[in-house]
Structure 1
Amino acid sequence: MTSVTEAANRPRLLLVASGMRAYREYLLASIGSSYQVHLFHTVEPTWERPYLDGWTVLDSTVDGPAMAATARGLHDAAPFDGVLCWDEGRIHATAHIAQELKCRNGDPMVIWRLRDKAQTRQALRHAGVPQPASVEVSTVQQACAAADSIGYPIILKPRGLGASLGVVRVDDAEALHRFFPFTRNTRPPDPVYYSTDGPVLVEECLIGDEISVDAVVTDGRVVPMFIGRKSVGFPPYAEEIGHLVDATDPLLDDDEFRVLLQHTHDTLGFRDGWTHTEFMLTAQGPHLIEVNGRLGGDLIPYLGMLATGLDPAQIAAAAACGRSSASVPTRRQVAGVRFFYVDADDTTIGTVTIDRALLPAAVDRAVVLAEPGLTVSPPPKGTLWGRIAYVTAVADTAQECRSALLKAAGAVRYTEV
């Protein structure tokens, strides 16, 4: 049992938003064991309460200056050691708080440079970082001109969204006219505003395997923690339907890749915190897709924890507070996740069941996401919020892990109303 004195001596951490329980509870549970966590949220906490020291309910968690003013009052009464956020739509607002409190990762301009993919492209282009050709556009006519210049196939991509929302491959001009409204009109749960025109990016379509790198950055030094290998489905869309993390991924020991990762962060000015960076491994080498100033989504940090023994929540919280933490893997395994969807748009769920008897021994978690009565769709309409279940597995080899996830698919079933 933790004594009152021990609890009071724990570092004080301000967390902005908690995220979806099924994807983020393990993070909050971890930092709640070592930090006094105060949550900024727009609703009263429910499942979060056992892990919190306190909370403040706000009208908005995307209004950075307003949150900074509220945080200042709390900080003056009981200082925070750090500020943390793992929600893409709120990391820029969170940087305003860190700036006000003079905590790590407190430069909103740097975080906006990551969130605004056009700015990311521009900065990295001047620094010579390999990346796809990219043009920001506002109209389908501009998009056609950009595609003609780049050459088909191209990728249409919203300028500042996450979770592959609005991303689609386009093979010709007819398809571009058909898909452009889809990308332009895709909206996140919270609004994103730009100071310039061009909300859509037309980009070169790179061919290869897509990976993600979760890394901790301290005083500018980038240390990769683990690498995720993506599985993408529902073409021509880019829905991430699974990930695999191997603690012995050879890229972790690739000196040229580590130099590229460091150069990318140096160019963007990111010096403290956690990043989730995505690359396409092409025949010409790694090309930068994007850099996100937060922990990876889709349970990737959880897979990293299973595979390496590292605790991403503890490491990220320590980085936010300017403290050191363990960063040497204690395990050498492979962990993976697979997400499941319904077959047709606007399916109203009767039940989602997982037959535990059919799950291989390597399965770690099998979680139902969709409640009875919920209407869901597969991508592109459903995306992240259309998933009905997920399964994670951990094994000694990538082949064993993939095999377990494939077998587990037969255990997931749903009925319709």
Structure 2
Amino acid sequence: MPQPVLLLGAGRRCAYDEFVLTRIAAARPVVLVDAAPPDWARPCLAGHLAADPGKDGATASAVVRFAARHRVRGVLAHSAEYMVAAARIAGQLGLPGPSHVTAAACADPAVLRAALAAGAVPVDEPGTPRVCAETVVLDGEIRIVAITRTTLGPAPARQPLRHTVHAHDGLLHNRFLRLAVDRTVHALGLTRGVLHIGLRLTDRGPRVTDVTPCLPDDLIPLLVRRATGVDLAQVAAALATGEVPDTTPTRQRAAAIRFAYPAATGRLDRLTLAPEAAREPGADRMILTRDAGHHVTAGPHATVDDRLALWVAVGEDPAGCDDALRRMGRHLSARVAPAVTAAPDQPDEQPAVPDLHG
């Protein structure tokens, strides 16, 4: 087997995680480090190392033993959950990647804020409006390859309702955002990697709220690829193996994803998607992410596990994506049996999310 990349964790949500794994596996062999790989991941794997990525020390020992028998090209974390463990292991093996200290700082909001403040980075708490700079760092060269704009749901959960990426987003040329990103990279001592840098737009300019030194979730890599042609998953794999990735844009479009949350808390009795959704102009994919019979929590208090469905649209600009998302959303229908007894005149049909078509 050619020298593989070790991937810590495959994820447990096929609708979100399969895309990244498929793109990495298309470029190089993947050995998954996970206690038990999900069935959908197996066709993408060149091998499997049975170890729990959440048990940092034990996993590192298992990987070091594996690396003593097999030449390993790089170590990647599938998500922020395992980025500290991946950094520790890469450091032990002498492979590229963020340092363990940097990864640990990014995982601790208080430590991160202190590090950024020391580097003269404007910081703030997460809020709205919110954007993220999808950034690639290679030996000191910092490139913002895309801007992700996020629409958040109601408090207190404030879960994402939508992400949008546009190849011609004006923030790509905003010098204040560029300065905040550059200072963030330097403050954390990052020299190589893919970064998901969250920022809050304020009257005082963009202010950094969080930094994740690994691939973003929520299918944002798919949006970036559809909108710009830049394959963040393969870029991350190349950086982790010491190679120089190609970050040249090959597309000039927009892409967006929408998430449906239940409007009521209770048992999900019915969730259906009409096949006509796939034939809507601009439709990329539409996937149900919950099964009938399960308990779900309404949007204001929901988690990502309460999402009922996701759908992705591609267009020439964000307005085109919005139109496609609205048309696709009309093909989704859900009914939730409320956790408390409904009033006699309360309809039992519940929309998937408040203002689903808005």
What TM-score comes out, normalization by structure 1 length? 0.77
Q: How does 1:376-387 map to 2 (within 5 A)?
A: 376-387=296-307
By how many angstroms is 1:43 displaced? 1.5
Question: What is aligned with 1:413?
Answer: 333
Structure 2 unaligned spans of 5+:
338-358
Question: What is aligned with 2:166?
Answer: 246
In the alignment, is the contact (CA less than 8 A) between 1:393 and 1:401 conserved in 2? yes
Deviations 1:322-346 (A, max 9, x none): 1012101100001001000121113
Structure 1 unaligned spans of 5+:
1-7, 133-202
Question: What is aligned with 1:391?
Answer: 311
Q: Which amino acid aligns with 2:157?
A: Y
Question: What is aligned with 1:80?
Answer: 72
By how many angstroms is 1:260 displaced? 2.2
Pick closer, same or farther for the CA change 1:16–1:256 going to 2, 3 Å: same
Higher mean displacement: 241-250 or 227-236: 227-236
By how many angstroms is 1:67 displaced? 1.2
Residue 52 of structure 1: which of 42, 45, 52 is its match? 45
Number of paired residues?
Answer: 336
In the alignment, is the contact (CA less than 8 A) between 1:216 and 1:275 conserved in 2? yes
Question: What is aligned with 1:148?
Answer: none
Task: Give the SS at the match of 2:83.
Answer: helix
Deviations 1:81-125 (A, max 9, x none): 100013111111121111111111252111011010101111112
1:128 correspondence with 2:120: yes
1:401 correspondence with 2:324: no
Give the % identical residues.
29
1:17 correspondence with 2:18: no
The separation in 1 between residues aligned to 2:74 and 2:64, in whole angstroms, is 13
By how many angstroms is 1:358 displaced? 8.4
RMSD: 1.8
Q: Which amino acid aligns with 2:309?
A: A
Residue 293 of structure 2: which of 360, 369, 373 is its match? 373
1:91 correspondence with 2:71: no
Question: What is aligned with 1:331?
Answer: 251
Question: What is aligned with 1:229?
Answer: 149
The separation in 1 between residues aligned to 2:196 and 2:307, in whole angstroms, is 22
By how many angstroms is 1:416 displaced? 4.3
Q: How does 1:3-402 map to 2 (within 5 A)?
A: 8-9=1-2, 11-19=3-11, 20-58=13-51, 60-105=52-97, 107-132=99-124, 203=125, 209-356=129-276, 360-402=280-322
Task: Give the SS at the match of 2:40.
Answer: coil
In the alignment, is the contact (CA less than 8 A) between 2:197 and 2:210 conserved in 1? yes
The separation in 2 between residues aligned to 1:289 and 1:86, in whole angstroms, is 21
In the alignment, is the contact (CA less than 8 A) between 2:286 and 2:311 conserved in 1? yes
In the alignment, is the contact (CA less than 8 A) between 2:278 and 2:284 conserved in 1? no
In the alignment, is the contact (CA less than 8 A) between 2:153 and 2:300 conserved in 1? no
By how many angstroms is 1:220 displaced? 3.3
Q: Which amino acid aligns with 1:393?
A: A
By how many angstroms is 1:26 displaced? 1.1
Pick closer, same or farther for the CA change 1:358–1:298 going to 2, 3 Å: closer
Q: Which amino acid aligns with 1:38?
A: V
In the alignment, is the contact (CA less than 8 A) between 2:265 and 2:296 conserved in 1? yes
What TM-score comes out, normalization by structure 2 length? 0.89
